[in-house]
Amino acid sequence: MIAFARATASALLLGLGLGTALPSLAQLPVKPQADHDALLRSATPDLAANKRLVYDFWREVFEAGHLDLAPKYMAESYLQHNPRVPTGRAAFVEFFSKFATPKPIADKVAAPLVAIAAEGDLVVLAFVRELPDPKDPSASYTTTWFDMFRVENGKIAEHWDPALKVAAPADDRKVVADLDTQYQLAVKNNDAATMERILADDFALVTGRGTTFTKADLLKETKSGTVYEHQEPLSQTVRVFGDTAVVTALLWAKGAGADGKPFDYRLWYTDTYARTPKGWKYVLGQASLPLPSTP
């Protein structure tokens, strides 16, 4: 399979004209192949049959939404590697029945096909994928999406694609809220290991008095001898903006410093978290002055 993946990648790169040197910072747009009959042809009858099986599955079941035809194309024990879709033919049908509405079956696959590659028991469909340009919201760019299928006994038995898990905003809010609560508990317990895990390396804290602290400063503080009775948010709001999350909370801090002097105050803080390859990290903290005591 590894050899096939490498061979397929090389063939597709050459077929798309990407195997030659391109001008610096230039991109040739990915363009679909209009002649699907040419894509389906193969000098080997078994490979041609596998191509046709996958092509018709995509056309009739996936695009036209005729999930009743799934048994015609898919093995009952169908293995799914897309992290958003459950495995098994029955699970596939149940999942897509929530979105699919049967419509007339077209003669050709509607998606912009670039290539169909087949070798052994594997078939790869390559499609044009158009996405918004992150540097220019008014523009878009093209890239390539791949779906790979394994055929066994005339049925599709396994599927791979490059899909990623995507958290819903509500999921992100819960993750960040829990993480911020964990952080405050770690401060209370002088738990440097947990603080080290949550804080970004370039973390900065700015207090209401204008004092700034780094990650190293806060980790050092865990060894100062401060004892906390309370260090927890009394209220907490989390807002998520893509890969950035902002926590606003009212904190109650009570305990005794290293010198034995007691403290008991409330203040507002805003914590900013950023999504990184290692998960959400606490990158910036801002705190108000302690609030006036209430009688």
Predicted pLDDT at 138? 79
The region, left, alpha or beta by phi > 0 then psi within -120 to 50, assigned to residue 255 is: left
Helices (H), 58-168: 70-73, 89-96
pLDDT confidence of residue 13:
40
pLDDT score of 136? 79
CA triplet 127, 132, 137: central angle to 5 degrees?
165
pLDDT number for residue 294 = 66
Q: Which pair of structure tokens corresponds to residue 259?
A: 């010198």
> What pLDDT does residue 26 have?
53
The residue ranges of DSSP E strands in the chain, in sequence order, are: 74-80, 113-119, 122-133, 136-152, 155-160, 199-206, 212-214, 227-241, 244-256, 262-276, 279-287
Determine if the pTM surpasses 0.85.
no
For residue 229, which phi and psi values (nearest 5 degrees)? -95, -40
For residue 16, the model assigns a pLDDT of 42
Q: Which residues of the chain have pLDDT under 70?
A: 1-26, 137, 167, 294-295
Report the pLDDT value the prediction gives residue 7, as an integer from 0 to 100: 47
Is the separation of the CB atoms in 42 and 51 below 8 Å?
yes
The fraction of the chain above a pLDDT of 90, given in percent, is 80
pLDDT of 247: 97
At the topology level of CATH, where does 169-287 sit? Nuclear Transport Factor 2; Chain: A, (3.10.450)
Question: Any idea which fold 2-160 has?
Answer: Nuclear Transport Factor 2; Chain: A, (3.10.450)
Please list the residue range(s) of the chain that carry CATH number 3.10.450.50.
2-160, 169-287
Compute CA distances 68 → 60, 86, 90, whole Å. Answer: 10, 18, 11
Task: Tell me how crowded residue 224 is: count the other CB atoms within 10 A of its CB.
Answer: 11
Instruction: Please report the pLDDT score of residue 290 as a whole number.
Output: 95
First vs last C-alpha separation in the chain = 73
pLDDT in the model for residue 101? 92
pLDDT at site 277 = 78
What is the model's pLDDT at position 158?
A: 98
